[in-house]
Amino acid sequence: MLKYFYREENMVNEKNIILVGLSNEFVKFGANLLAEKLGYYNLDVDSMLEYTLMDRIKMKQVCGVKYLDEQEKKVIKSLNDYEKTVMSIKLDTFAANIKSLQDNNMLVYLSFNKKQVKDLNKLLTNEFKTEITLNDLLFQEHDKYLKKNCDIILKCDINNIDESFNELIEKIK
C-alpha cells in the first residue's frame, strides 16, 4: 500500500500527504501543523487553484465549464509531481478529483467527534473564522465517504491536537 525507499539510514515515505476533512479551516490548520512537524512544504490546493487559474468565473463564462474543469484537472494532476508536501484540500475538490489524487499521495481524513465542534471552534478562532455548521445528515454522509476513500483516518482529539498529530506521524512512518 505505501511505497518506501531507502535513503541513508532512514526509511522515507515517497508519497505526499493530502489532508481532507469536514472543516476546511481545521484541515488547513492541521496541514500547517503537520508540515511544520515533518519539515515538509505546506500547500493549500484550493488556494493554488485560485491562483493558477486566476479568474475562474470569467474563464467559465468565456471558455465554458468543460474547459474550466479540464484546466482544474491539469493543476490537480500536477500535484503528483510535488515532493515532501503536506496539502490541504476542500471536500468538494477532493471528491471531484479523487482518482487523480489516489495513486501518488497518502490521503488522510482528519476526523473528529461531532460533539467536539464547539471545542474545534475555540481552537480555530485565533487562526481562522471557522465555517462549521454541520447538520446530522451531512456530517454522517461526508464522514462515511471520507472513511471509505482515505488511506488513514486520524481521529483527532480536539483538546489534545499535538498528541493526535504525533499519532499521525507514527502511522505515516
Confidence of residue 54 (pLDDT cuts 50, 70, 90): confident
Distance CA 83, CA 52 (A): 19
151, three cell numbers:
488511506
pTM over 0.85? The answer is no
Q: For 81, list phi and psi in degrees, rounded to 5.
A: -90, -10
Measured on CA atoms in the order 151, 42, 143, 118, is the torsion positive or negative?
positive
**pLDDT at position 109, please?**
96
Task: Please check the confidence at residue 11 and state whether its pLDDT lies above 90.
Answer: no
Alpha-carbon gap, residue 98 to 24, rounded angstroms = 17
Which pLDDT belongs to residue 137? Answer: 65
Task: Specify the 3-state DSSP secondary structure of 153.
Answer: strand
The whole-number pLDDT of residue 93 equals: 93
What's the confidence (pLDDT) of residue 8? 34
